[in-house]
Amino acid sequence: MKKIFIIFVALMAVQIGHAQDTELKDSPIDFHLDIKTNHLWRGLVITDKPMAAVFSKLNLNKSGSFTTGFWGGMAFSNDSDGTSYKEINYYVQYADNGFSIALWDLFNTRSVENPDVWNYDENTTTHLIDLRTSYAFQGDFPLRLEADVLLYGSADSQINENGDREQRYSTYVEASYPIITESKVNLSAFAGAAFSLNGDTHLYGDGEQNFDFVNVGLTATKVLKFSDLTFPVSATTMWNPSQKIARIQLAVSLF
């Protein structure tokens, strides 16, 4: 793990040094690489293994308010049962003046015996279609509100009294607020709850109730400097009161 990080740093230093000697034009395409000790999502522990996440985006207009792209994650090692975490997601988003709305297609193949990226059958698909919205207040009250609804996918479905499969429409809502800003180490707090629009349970909880808090915690951020390079680093402490679990995650953005 340490060797991989050193190689990444060395390669970036060479690339940045070369870029400083050459004037390059702007590109509508960009991508980022994050390394994490684990992967947490809306109070769920997707994997406890160290992992890499790549996020790429394409601007669809000049202002960059319309974007599309991919998010992919992969664990560095297998779980004890021999399975490994791999995920690829697609998205399209509009974001402007603090408001954003996006549609995501999530495809996680962990513990899937025969994953099929083209399978969208309501009974067997491992895709999840996720509608995401958020609004960040500007000025002296930088509160951020988020509301997301799972629209489709067998992982968020249930069998009704007639024996038919139907969606639960698990919904996740979150409020986050920066407590310490413009400091060497900044701190923000978040609280997320979940419920289903159609059913007695939802995806994020213990499977026993329809509304509960599932993602409460703090995130500290700072910037590490290495020569001319800077690396944003975050440390998140998360509790899921519904599932009675807690985790700490360390993440670094390499570029």
Where exactly are the structural domains of the chain?
A: 36-227
Question: Is 24:238 a contact under the CB 8 Å cutoff?
Answer: no
User: What number is the average pLDDT over the span 218-241?
Assistant: 94
Indicate the average pLDDT of the chain.
Answer: 90
Q: Is 80 helix (H, G, I), strand (E, B) or coil?
A: coil
In b/e form, how buried is each residue of 9-27, taking b as 16+ CB within 10 angstroms? beebeeeeeeeeeeeeeee
Minimal CA–CA distance to 243: which of 36, 45, 40? 45
Could you report the per-residue pLDDT of 139-166, keeping only the tens digit for each?
889 999 999 999 999 999 988 888 888 9
Q: How far apart are CA 110 and CA 87, in angstroms?
A: 8
Strand partners for 186: 221
Q: What are phi and psi of 4, to 5 degrees?
A: -60, -40
Q: Is the pLDDT of residue 123 over 70?
A: yes
Q: Is the pLDDT of residue 244 over 60?
A: yes
176 Cβ contact partners less than 8 Å away, ≥ 6 residues apart: 143, 144, 146, 188, 189, 190, 191
pLDDT band at 1 (very low <50, low <70, confident <90, very high): low
What's the pLDDT score for residue 163? 80
Q: Is the pLDDT of residue 57 over 60?
A: yes
Q: How far apart are CA 122 and CA 218, in angstroms?
A: 37
pLDDT band at 185 (very low <50, low <70, confident <90, very high): very high
Give me the DSSP letters along 110-179.
Answer: TT-SS--TT---TTT--EEEEEEEEEE--TT---EEEEEEEEE-GGGEEE-TTS-EEE--EEEEEEEEEE
Q: What are phi and psi of 160, to 5 degrees?
A: -85, -175
Q: How far apart are CA 7 and CA 166, in angstroms?
A: 48
Indicate the pTM of the whole model.
0.88
What's the pLDDT score for residue 160? 83
What's the pLDDT score for residue 104? 98
Q: How far apart are CA 250 and CA 252, in angstroms?
A: 7
Q: Is the pLDDT of residue 9 over 60?
A: no
Token digits of residue 245: 């679990």
What's the pLDDT score for residue 162? 82
Q: Is the pLDDT of residue 184 over 60?
A: yes
What's the pLDDT score for residue 6? 54
